Structure 1
Amino acid sequence: MLPSVADVLAMPVVRAGAPEVVGGGPLDRPVRWVHVIDVPEVARLLVGGELVLTTGQALGRGHGATVEYLNALAAAGVSGLVVELGDYVRHLPPIVAKTADALGLPVIALHRVTRFVEITEAVHRMIVADQYAELEFARTVHETFTELSVRRASLAEIVKTAAGMLDASVVLEDLAHRVLAVAAKHTTASVLLENWETTSRLLPENADVVAVGPHTQPWGRLILRAQGIPTPRARMVLERAAQTLTLHRMIDRDRFGLHLQAQTGLIDDLANGRVMDEREAQARAAALGLARRAAYVPVAINVAARAESDPVAAQRRGAGILDAVTHGLGLAGATALTAAEHGDRVGIILAVPRTADVEASLRAVCTALLGEVRRVDGVRRAVIGVGAESDALLDTARELPQAAHIAEVALSLADPVPRPFYRSGDVRLRGLLSLIRDEPGVQRFAETELSALLRHDIRHRADLTRTLREFLDLAGNKTELARRLNISRPTLYDRLSRIERILGVDLDSGESRTSLHTALLIRDLTTPRNP
């Protein structure tokens, strides 16, 4: 950003001249250049934005010539006039202040002799440095958003990046003024989005509002919610972010299809309360192919897959999972709304005919879904969580997080016989623990129960923790445990005895077994074992 007249007056080299603002407009005018000129005929020599330095020769030719001179400067668009008082003009007559005020032209008097060359050098260094900073900022903006485009960053990340560059809140909305992504700075999202639709509709079309989407078919707006951001910078960042968002949407449309995007958007609207009327919900769902007059079941698919360092490969696998889900639903002859979640997770609202056996229908659909999803490259395991069915679509949408929770917990189970789907009763204690696993008190309990044994295993490169885990999983069946570990009974007894001594417990006590097993489950949920 160019320095203002006030910035120039604050420089030490100018302050040394004892500057006094004689009259004129505000001092926030930008200074594009500093020009030393004493001739009266200035209009043909200036192009605007200059701060003129003069010894005042043009001001000593009478009131008429002074007024004409100041009018010429204002017409040329100069930022201000700095007059050094001395040999040519001892003081500025009142007509100078009166004319300057009328023209809105800042006029400053220097009461001490000052070397103009020092002023020009200092200001020009500032201007050049500022221009270089703007070029660097523009380069950073270009490189940053190009990188986001190449790795297909999410809408939220693109908006967050724009907000970070401007250190100001940025909101992405669709044409219905619904917020698609928000990055709040120096405030909270709840405050920023309060009465958002009303606020958004009243915003003027200016540099802080940029259309997103192809020029002929925009699908949203990117809005800067802050004041004091330099307009060129704000416009540059918002326009570059809008281009990246447009490309992101075009790629997603090719990758997932508009139909799936519409389903995901509807589920998001239902789950987040943007649709409150059941009839409207069912009408919109029916338009997307979901059967009416059905029982609706919340279903979530969770996948354990090979880790991918390449974001593009991970996105490709996510697209493959969605394709597999769509194909599986088709094989089962089911109608559903499908929502793409975090890459390897998919949420589904499944319609089951009211005349059908819900459990049998679920088994058939889930078996088809798992069969297709497990064929996707990189998928090692897939499980399905199911919530309670309902006749209300809105209630079913609100139960999707519960189904997702069941699927998340089920994925951590090691069932010898995989099931087509899991309900809340199937995840038992592990499901409860997964809800509270991040509580400090729960984590302290697990550490208190197991820390001595874990330290022993680390120091002695032993694996008594595995022996304890197998012992508890087998409900204390020592014969089966010895067979599973492929060790003799005396060796097993010695290990169990050492575990009791290290932990100070009695493994024949039911309460001790329950506490230790619970601690191991908490450890599994907070630090999952490698498969």
Structure 2
Amino acid sequence: MQPTVRDILDLPVLQRGEPEVVGGGSLDRRVRWVHVSDLYDLSNLLQGGELVLTTGRALVDDPVGYLEGLAAANAIGLVVELGLHVDAIPPEAAEAADRLALPVVALHREVRFVEVTEEVHRSIVADQYAEVAFARNTHEAFTDLSMKRASPGEIVDAAADILDAPVVLEDLARQVLAFAAQDVETAELLSDWERRSRLTPVSHETEVCGPESWITTPVGAHRQEWGRLVAPRPIGNDARTRMTLERAAQALALGRMVEREGTALEQQAQSGLVDELRRGRIQDEAEATARAHALGLRPALTYLPVTIRVSETPSADQVFTQRRRVRMLDAIRHAVRTSRLTALTTNPRTGWFDLLVSQPPSGSGPDALHSLCTEIHAALGRIDGVVRCTVGVGPDSTRLLDAAGGLAESAHIADVAQSLPQDGKVCHRSADIRLRGLIALIRTDQRVQAFAEAELRGLLEHRARHDDDLLDVLRAYLELGGNKAELAKRLRISRPTLYAKLATVERLLGVDLDDAESRTSLHAAVLILDSHASAPTRAARTSRDA
């Protein structure tokens, strides 16, 4: 650290000259260099930050003009050895020194200026060397961390160790991503963090700001910052703090860029492999498993096809939609890692995500699958715009090729599950969709639509005229298998009232509800009708996908 004027005046070599401050400003300004000269005009010799030593020759004719020239050249101060040219500092010079805030010091005994310059310059050069060494060591430390692909926590820990002070990494929402408390209590360091952080303005460069004088530096590419590093406690050397935080921020930004690029390349490779498997372009099981294992899929006795179907709120902003799609894929990959499983993942089209999951050893499979699906639901539920997601699970297989072929079934299951009432299940299999699955496949056939209309026409026309609940009564009656006692309890109406409603239904439809075949036919018609309830939304999504 550069010495101050006060530090230099305290040197023994200058103390022997009996220094006396006769005017000027603060003695705590830092001195960049010491310059010895008796010239009147030093404007072309000084660069700013110098302490000038003189025997006073320039003070003889025009002391005020001399001091004004020094101030204009940004000199830090003036030390005058009395006796050779002047016996005292002129009063007008002392007044000018006060006005210019330029410290002027008189030496009443002779001093060897060469000893002053040697000692001060030795200190300054040593300090500069120390700063260079610190910069080199800091650069090497964070370069090494970058090459090792260190985590954000490790980079923050390194910065805190270098500064011997707490360091915090936060995101744009003022949430703490990583921190190193050093000797400070964590509860004290992070107390009411979000409020304190919001009181500290965000800057696009390293600066000291806010009511607590935090030193902050942005993290991320210029104008694309995703967080900031904070040194929330005062640190003695601001320059070293700035340098350390900036090097740490560069390491964090580089790590994130490398991670994103690596993840993008890995995801592209996984998507390509799953597409080849689905299309049957790979016929050799050994080749398929070798390529999958090279992409991170752990070898297993069985593999499981999984499809995730996501319903989203529509948006005209294509950039926002694409970013949400990337976030959903990242969330699913994170859920897989959190569940301690491995999988190949792909996003074939908007709202669809396919996975080939490596099954854990026998005995833990169902629990692992349930854990995975629970994590997927939780991760996607935290993304804005996600309305609902369903997970379809196809049949497991000992061959990866067969599991890839099962993605068509898992996709069908996930799609059908979207039309089912939300029942709290985290995943659905073929046994969960059954007849609804068949109807989902054929519901667009005009003959199927004509069948449903013919079966329910009388009831639908009655509802159109009277807007009553007879269709809902019929639906509940069929769901309960014709159990009138249970139906009365569900609807919370008396049996005579229920019997009257059912009689009206029979009259409108011209059927006998006690006949098993009639109930089966009506149930199929109601399921077909229900399957079309969400058809406009799906059509809109299909249009967007196209």
TM-score by length of 1: 0.51
Q: How far did residue 72 of structure 1 move?
A: 0.8
- Residue 223 (structure 1) aligned to one of 214, 224, 230: 230
Measured after TM superposition, the shift of residue 184 of structure 1 is 2.1
Query: How far off its partner does 1:328 sit?
Result: 8.7
Within the alignment, does 1:249 sit opposite 2:256 as a pair?
yes
Q: How far is the alpha carbon of 1:327 from its aligned partner?
A: 13
Q: Provide the secondary structure at the position in 1 that maps to 2:31.
A: coil
Superposed displacement of residue 319, structure 1: 11
For the structure 1 residues 138 and 319, does the alpha-carbon distance in structure 2 shift closer, same or farther, using more than 3 Å as the test?
A: farther
For 1:512, the equivalent position in structure 2 comes to none
Separation of aligned partners in 2, 1:66 and 1:120: 24
Cα distance, 1:249–1:326 mapped onto 2, change above 3 Å: farther
Q: Does 1:84 align with 2:64?
A: no
CA contact (8 A) 1:338 1:347 kept: no
1:255–1:319 Cα contact (<8 Å) kept: no
In structure 2, C-alpha distance between the alignment counterparts of 1:119 and 1:178, rounded to whole Å:
53
Q: Which has the larger radius of gyration?
A: 2
1:29 aligned residue: 29
Q: Distance in 2 between matches of 1:31 and 1:198?
A: 40
Q: Distance in 2 between matches of 1:319 and 1:190?
A: 44
SS at match of 2:106: strand
Counterpart secondary structure, 2:110: coil
Structure-2 separation of matches of 1:111 and 1:333: 91
1:202 match: 199
Q: Given the alignment, which residue of 239, 251, 254 partners 1:232? A: 239
Partner of 1:472: none
Cα deviation, 1:73-127, whole Å, max 9, x if unaligned, reads 1111011111112232222233333221211111112222110010011111111
User: What one-letter code is carried by the residue in structure 2 that aligns with 1:217?
Assistant: Q
| 1:152 aligned residue | 149
Matched, 1:45 2:45: yes
Q: Relative to 1, partners in 2 of residues 1:328 and 1:194: Cα closer, same or farther, differing over 3 Å?
A: farther
SS of the residue corresponding to residue 117 of structure 1 reads helix
Aligned counterparts of 2:65 and 2:180: Cα–Cα separation in 1: 53
The one of 289, 297, 305 equivalent to 1:331 is: 305
> Which of 103, 116, 127 pairs up with 1:106?
103
Where structure 1 has 5 or more consecutive residues not aligned to the other structure, the ranges are 261-317, 350-364, 375-382, 398-531
Return closer, same or farther for 1:217/1:131 CA change in 2, 3 Å cut-off.
Answer: same
For the Cα contact (< 8 Å) 2:63–2:90, is it kept in 1?
A: no
**Alignment partner for residue 129 of structure 2, among 87, 108, 132?**
132
- The answer (yes or no) to whether the contact 2:39–2:58 under 8 Å persists in 1 is yes
SS of residue in 2 equivalent to 1:43: coil
> 2 CA distance for matches of 1:195 and 1:169?
16
Cα distance, 1:147 vs structure 2: 0.5
Other structure's SS at 2:44 match: helix
Q: Deviations over 1:423-481 (max 9, x none)?
A: xxxxxxxxxxxxxxxxxxxxxxxxxxxxxxxxxxxxxxxxxxxxxxxxxxxxxxxxxxx
The alpha-carbon distance between structure 1 residues 193 and 258, as it changes in their structure 2 partners (threshold 3 A), is farther
Tell me which residue corresponds to 1:346: 338
1:188 paired residue number: 185
- Residue 390 of structure 1: how far off its partner (Å): 9.9
**68 and 219 in structure 1: CA distance in 2 versus 1, 3 angstrom threshold:** same
Q: CA deviation at 1:178?
A: 0.9
CA RMSD of aligned residues (A): 4.2
Alignment of 1:464-479 (within 5 A): none
Number of residues of Structure 1 aligned to a counterpart in Structure 2: 310
Matches of 2:303 and 2:27, distance apart in 1: 68
Residue number among 118, 121, 142 corresponding to 1:121 in the alignment: 118
Give the structure 2 partner of residue 369 of structure 1. 359
Match of 1:417 in 2: none
Mapped to 2, the partners of 1:186 and 1:107 lie a distance apart of 44
Partner of 2:482: none
- CA distance in structure 2 between the aligned counterparts of 1:258 and 1:75, rounded to whole angstroms: 59
Structure 1 residues 161 and 320, CA gap change in structure 2 (3 angstroms): farther
Question: Contact between 1:166 and 1:229, CA under 8 Å: does it hold in 2?
Answer: no
Q: How does 1:67-82 map to 2 (within 5 A)?
A: 67-82=64-79
Work out the percentage of aligned pairs sharing the same amino acid: 49
- Partners in 1 of 2:300 and 2:256 — Cα distance? 21
- The Cα of 1:246 is off from its aligned counterpart by 1.0
Helix, strand or coil: the match of 1:370? coil
Contact 1:48 1:79 in 2 (8 A): yes
For the 8 Å contact 1:338–1:348, the answer to whether it is kept is no
Distance verdict in 2 for CA 1:99–1:319, change over 3 Å = farther
Cα 1:119–1:330, aligned 2, differ >3 Å: closer, same or farther?
farther
Alpha-carbon distance, 1:368 to partner: 5.3
Q: Secondary structure at the match of 1:182?
A: strand
Counterpart residue number, 2:11: 11
**For 1:186 and 1:319, how far apart are their aligned partners in 2?**
44
Post-superposition offset of 1:158: 0.4
Pick closer, same or farther for the CA change 1:162–1:326 going to 2, 3 Å.
farther
Displacement of 1:166: 2.0
User: Once the 2 structures are TM-superposed, how far is the Cα of residue 232 of structure 1 from its aligned partner?
Assistant: 3.2
Task: Give 1:50 shift.
Answer: 0.9
- 1:161 maps to 158
SS in 2 for 1:20: strand
1:414 matched residue in structure 2? none
